Amino acid sequence: FKTVAEEVPLLQAIMIRGAMTTILLAVMAVVRGAWLVRIPLADWKIIGWRTFAEIGSTYFFLSALFHMPIANLSAILQSLPLAITLAGALFFREKVGWRRYGAIAIGFCGVLLIVRPGTSGFDIYSLYGLIAVAFVVLRDLSTHRLSRAVPSVSVALITAVAITSFGAFGSAIEGWQPVEFASVARLSGAAFFIVGGYLLSIMVMRVGEIAVVSPFRYTALIWAITLGYLVFGNVPSRWTIIGSIIVVGMGIYTFYREHKLQKRIA
């Protein structure tokens, strides 16, 4: 997606990728018999909040992605497991001991090292990355409350339609620009991967313990640093690396504490 940053306006890119994603999910919904499913009213309210959060996270994340090194943005997003663990404790009363609360606090200090507010490396797009984190927390908490009666592919399809509509509305206001076939092809490839991301994130957040599922997001940092270097020639700064190590380390520690607690209960 970042490769089209200088070729396609943001909202237009969101619409094109969203349209491709919607088509893929619609086909999948028909094949799996989830095209016409009665969704309980209580779940519609949750889906509404989840869709709002998905739109917000998409806009702020992709805005930041268009203007920031991919490794820096991914490092900021590594605070997600810590934020979700904290939110799970606050809103779902999941048990979190003082050690994990301490790990969360230290992890957020690592985020400050990555963002470095008050320095020349800090700009509005670093803040956009943090706002995207807040929206993803809301999205995952909403997903966790969905009943098993709602197929994951249906939730993903509703989300894709909403994001596509958001991009189309924004593009209509900004004005449509011609797009080359190569850009459309790359956005279509992004749509293929986003479908997998939608479905898997919904599935694991619905059936898994939030504090256990979240730490697996850290593998994204490895991919981000590798792709950022190979494709864009970006090398993370010393502070970004140090902050990332702190955040990832604290996330792994929270996972270890959760695993130890589960073994003790069993």
Quote the Cα angle for 128-131-136, to 5°: 125
Q: What is the pLDDT of residues 58-93, one digit of tens each?
A: 999 999 998 888 888 888 888 887 888 888 888 877
CA atoms within 13 A on the CB side of 87: 19
pLDDT at 259 over 90: no
What mean pLDDT do residues 119-124 have?
Answer: 73
Prediction pTM value:
0.82
Q: Quote the pLDDT of residue 202.
A: 67
Spatial CA neighbour of 17 closest among 223, 152, 186, 196? 186
Q: Which pLDDT value is given to residue 90? A: 84
Q: Can you tell me the mean pLDDT for 155-183?
A: 90
Residues 31-63 have pLDDT tens digits of 877 677 788 888 999 999 999 999 999 999 999
Domains of the chain by residue range: 2-265
3-class SS string, the chain: CHHHCCCCCHHHHHHHHHHHHHHHHHHHHHHCCCCCCCCCHHHHHHHHHHHHHHHHHHHHHHHHHHHCCHHHHHHHHCCHHHHHHHHHHHHHCCCCCHHHHHHHHHHHHHHHHHHCCCCCCCCHHHHHHHHHHHHHHHHHHHHHHCCCCCCHHHHHHHHHHHHHHHHHHHHHHHCCCCCCHHHHHHHHHHHHHHHHHHHHHHHHHHHCCHHHHHHHHHHHHHHHHHHHHHHHCCCCCHHHHHHHHHHHHHHHHHHHHHHHHHHHHC
pLDDT in tens, 213-233: 656 666 777 778 887 888 878
Which residue type, as a one-letter code, is found at position 212?
A: V
